[in-house]
Amino acid sequence: MPEYREKLWPNAWAFIVTALVIPASILVLVPISLFAGIVTAAVLYGGCVLLLVLAAPVVRVQNGVLTAGPATISTGLLGEATAYEKSEATQERGPRLDARAWLLIRGWIDPVVRVPIVDVTDPAPYWVISSRHPKKLAAAINESRTANVE
């Protein structure tokens, strides 16, 4: 059985953008106390970084099961996974998106993989999953599907 694992870590710019809490906190608290502003800024930024790291979901294909963040599904219930990059990925996340689709997308990761659901009882027609390695993820899903059928 093929295996794949990827943690969807935030890009560096996400940490840089959250660093804006530092000057904002200092600016708000400097009339009261510069020390309080610096301490508050450090605590808030540390909290933001911690949340970004802890909230990074894992995408995994293992033992015939696709796990994307909190959701899991047997690869036997999936159709042919397709990788999309650049403008095609934008189309999949936007104009071509079905409102019923299940999404695990992150703004800091451009490529996506679209995975059709062939289970007629599932209300979602497909999953859209962000991946920095969409071709590898799609290949792992497709190989697991065929191994699961045999």
> Could you report the per-residue pLDDT of 68-96, keeping only the tens digit for each?
999 999 999 999 999 999 999 999 999 99
Residues constituting the chain: 150
pLDDT digits (tens, 9 = 90+) for 52-73: 999 999 999 999 999 999 999 9
Is the predicted pLDDT of residue 150 greater than 90, yes or no? no
Angle made by CA atoms 54, 136, 55, in degrees to the nearest 5 = 10
Residue 3 counted as domain residue:
no
- Give yes or no: residues 90 and 114 share one domain: yes
138/93 same-domain check: yes
* % residues pLDDT > 70 (the chain): 97
Q: Is the predicted pLDDT of residue 24 greater than 90, yes or no?
A: yes
Q: What is the pLDDT of residue 146?
A: 81
Question: Is the residue at 2 inside a domain?
Answer: no
Q: Do residues 79 and 128 both lie within one domain? A: yes
Domain of 33 in residue numbering reads as 8-55
Same domain for 71 and 49?
no
Domain match, 81 and 138 both: yes
The number of distinct structural domains making up the chain is 2
Q: Are 6 and 133 in contact (CB under 8 A)?
A: yes
Is 149's pLDDT higher than 90?
Answer: no
Average pLDDT over residues 27-44: 95
Q: Are residues 81 and 45 in the same domain?
A: no
In a domain? residue 105:
yes
Question: Residue 140: what are its φ and ψ, rounded to 5°?
Answer: -65, -40
Q: What's the sign of the alpha-carbon dihedral 130, 142, 72, 97? A: positive
**Are residues 92 and 22 located together in one domain of the fold?**
no
Considering the domain architecture, whether residues 48 and 91 belong to the same structural domain is answered as: no
Q: Identify whether 1 is part of a domain.
A: no
% of the chain with per-residue pLDDT over 90:
95
